[in-house]
Amino acid sequence: MEQLLSNALKYTKKGGIHIYVKDEVLYIEDSGIGIKEEDLPRIFEKGFTGYNGRMDKKASGLGLYLCARILKYLGHPIHMSSKQGIGTTVMIDFHVQDLQVE
């Protein structure tokens, strides 16, 4: 959660962040700079920083990777939608599912 909120704050200079739950899905919506469409399919890959991450010298490409990995093991899928210049929405599905253990 800290990583997701940190990203929302870091990339939202104007507007705001809206957090809510609907039908057992947690939504974190921001009105920030958004993510380039071509970067979206790779945002949960280890080491991927994308365009926005390359502009931020502190980005490591590990935060979203670790979020997705932990949530996968807990059985809670994470999804993200975004429009560049409009904002980003993170969705975490908290429906009860079978726990995955490797």
> Domain containing 59 — which CATH number?
3.30.565.10
- Total of domains in the chain: 1
25 is in which domain, residue-wise?
A: 2-93
Question: Has residue 66 been placed in a domain?
Answer: yes
Tell me the pTM. Answer: 0.84
Report the alpha-carbon distance of residue 81 to residue 4 in Å, rounded: 13
- Band (60; pLDDT cuts 50, 70, 90): confident
Question: Has residue 102 been placed in a domain?
Answer: no
- Band (96; pLDDT cuts 50, 70, 90): confident
Closest CA to 69 of 60, 78, 61: 78
Mean of the per-residue pLDDT values of the chain: 89
Sort strands 25-30 and 87-93 into parallel, antiparallel or unpaired: antiparallel
Question: Does 58 score more than 90 pLDDT?
Answer: no
Residues 6+ apart with CB under 8 A from 30: 8, 11, 12, 15, 16, 17, 18, 87, 88, 89
- Band (50; pLDDT cuts 50, 70, 90): confident
- Band (46; pLDDT cuts 50, 70, 90): very high
Percent of the chain's residues with pLDDT above 70: 88
Question: Has residue 62 been placed in a domain?
Answer: yes
